[in-house]
Chain A
Amino acid sequence: DIQMTQSPSSLSASVGDRVTITCRASESITTYLNWYQQKPGKAPHLLIYGATRLQSGVPSRFSGDGGGTDFTLTISSLQPEDFATYYCQQSYITPPITFGQGTRLDI
């Protein structure tokens, strides 16, 4: 199974900051990497798919980069509504569907 490792596991930042979250796969997944945001009490929702493609309706301050084994999610200027938990997910070799352990972004 492909293992996904996110870093950091938690992060404190301020409104207006630029933040980057990293996700590493245990083997190459080309660009089959998706990012999700989850807020307390809510279901996750898709932000970025195919490593770099912005899901419709997601603000342009979110961006994804990478390929192979190393990927990043960047928020260019944090807004109050961005404080949440973020997950990466690989879909190159399934099953199983595998997620990173999550990055909690706090104020």
Chain B
Amino acid sequence: QVQLVQSGAEVKKPGASVKVSCQVSGYTLTELSIHWVRRAPGKGLEWLGGFHPEDGETIYAQKFQGRVTMTEDTSTDTAYMELGSLRSDDTAVYYCVHIDFDDYGTLDSWGQGTLVTVSS
């Protein structure tokens, strides 16, 4: 059973950066494909990017290219998502999620979510 535990809520000013962590347990990070999804108020789910096993690398959604960086620390089994040049419309709950590409690409384990609020 994969368990994902995220860092706490953040409040940032426009133009700043935020870094959210996702601690993995039950498996090692190298066994998993961790991605990041967000839900802004009144909006739907939006994929930001993650490790894509077919490509063997981290892939970012075009919309976030140049603003987002996803990294992994295998020594602590922790994944990170850093989003820069924050704007008010980046206010959202950010989720780390494991995608099982061997089973219909299901998002089968989710972190509890991290609220990021961007406000001056």
Contact = CB atoms under 8 A, between A and B. Distances in A.
Interface size classification for chain A: 20 to 34
Contact of A34 (B35, B47, B106): B106
Judged by DSSP, the binding face of A is loop
Nearest to B4: A43
Interface residues of B, number: 25
B12 interface: no
Interface stretch (B13-21, B24-32, B75-83, B108-116): B108-116
A45 B59 CA distance: 23
A101 interface: yes
A97 B104 contact: no
B110 A43 contact: yes
Interface of A: 31-32, 34, 36, 38, 43-46, 49-50, 53, 55, 87, 89, 91-92, 94-102
Given A38-B45, A49-B103, A97-B37, 11 more contacts: A43-B95, A44-B95, A44-B110, A45-B110, A49-B104, A53-B104, A95-B52, A97-B47, A99-B44, A99-B47, A101-B44
